């Protein structure tokens, strides 16, 4: 019989065990995205970026043809990482750019978390490549999007069939926090959730304003 102990599962994310790669969150890529509303996409990308920056997650930002076709990375991401060296590529598959894999090897962590546009091309490519090379891969599904619901859903299914683990933007933030008794990141986490956490964020505002409530107490 197994024995229970108060330890997190090995597949859970924490700020130190993974690399976040945010891919092609750019204007031109967004114009054709139909599987998620553009406002929601930007909100979720901001939630992921702010959470990763606040928790000190090793993060790689990359664009495709920024100057000639696709435009700049979302301001919400740029503002979370104002000093980031954003890698601009020609490859649709991020993993086929040696600058990306060199940076991944230098960071040297076993888990890769992906978010970006479009799911069926720019996320499937690195996800399947990383899995093939022995990395554990997670995909933040609602910080991704594609030209149709069908394209996004089939891409997610394809990655899951190969072992990728799907999650959401809010799940990502809360998995990094994981314990409300972690006071050093409590205000940051709830602050991000207030702005980008939808109904959950409104609930935090209400509880704190009306009752002075606080998780973990």
Per-residue pLDDT reduced to its tens digit, 85-127: 999 999 999 999 999 999 999 999 999 999 999 999 999 999 9
| Gap between the Cα atoms of 217 and 213, Å rounded | 8
Which band of pLDDT confidence, cut at 50, 70 and 90, is reported for residue 215? Answer: low
pLDDT, one tens digit per residue, over 31-81 is 999 999 999 999 999 999 999 999 999 999 999 977 787 899 999 999 999
Eight-class DSSP state of 139: E
pLDDT, mean over the chain: 95
- What domains can you pick out in the chain, each with its CATH number? 18-178 (3.40.50.850), 179-217 (no CATH)
Whether the full predicted model's pTM is greater than 0.85, yes or no, is yes
Q: Which residues pair with 165 in a beta bridge?
A: 138
Q: For 131-160, what is the mean pLDDT?
A: 98
pLDDT, one tens digit per residue, over 14-42 is 999 999 999 999 999 999 999 999 999 99
Using alpha carbons, select from 123, 133, 136, 63 the residue that is nearest to residue 93: 123
3-state helix, strand, coil in the chain (%, to 5): 55, 15, 30
In the predicted structure, residue 6 carries a pLDDT above the cut 90: yes
In the predicted structure, residue 191 carries a pLDDT above the cut 90: yes
| Gap between the Cα atoms of 190 and 12, Å rounded | 20
């Amino acid at each position: 019989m197994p024995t229970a102990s108060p330890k997190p599962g090995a597949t859970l994310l924490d700020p130190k065990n993974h690399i976040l790669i945010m891919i092609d969150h750019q204007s031109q890529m967004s114009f054709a995205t139909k599987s998620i509303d553009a406002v929601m996409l930007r909100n979720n990308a901001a939630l992921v970026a702010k959470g990763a920056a606040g928790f000190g997650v090793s993060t790689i930002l990359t664009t495709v043809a920024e100057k000639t076709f696709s435009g700049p990375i979302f301001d919400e991401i740029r503002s979370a990482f104002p000093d980031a060296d954003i890698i601009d590529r020609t490859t649709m598959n991020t993993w086929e750019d040696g600058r990306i894999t060199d940076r991944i090897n230098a960071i040297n962590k076993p888990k890769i978390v992906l978010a970006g546009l479009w799911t069926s091309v720019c996320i499937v490519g690195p996800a399947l490549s990383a899995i093939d090379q022995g990395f554990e891969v997670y995909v933040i599904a609602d910080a991704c999007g594609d030209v149709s619901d069908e394209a996004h859903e089939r891409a997610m299914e394809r990655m899951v069939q190969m072992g990728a683990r799907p999650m959401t933007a809010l799940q990502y933030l809360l998995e990094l926090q994981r314990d409300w008794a972690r006071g050093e990141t409590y205000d940051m986490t709830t602050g991000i959730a207030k702005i980008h956490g939808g109904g959950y964020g409104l609930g935090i505002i209400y509880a704190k304003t009306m009752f002075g409530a606080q998780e973990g107490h």
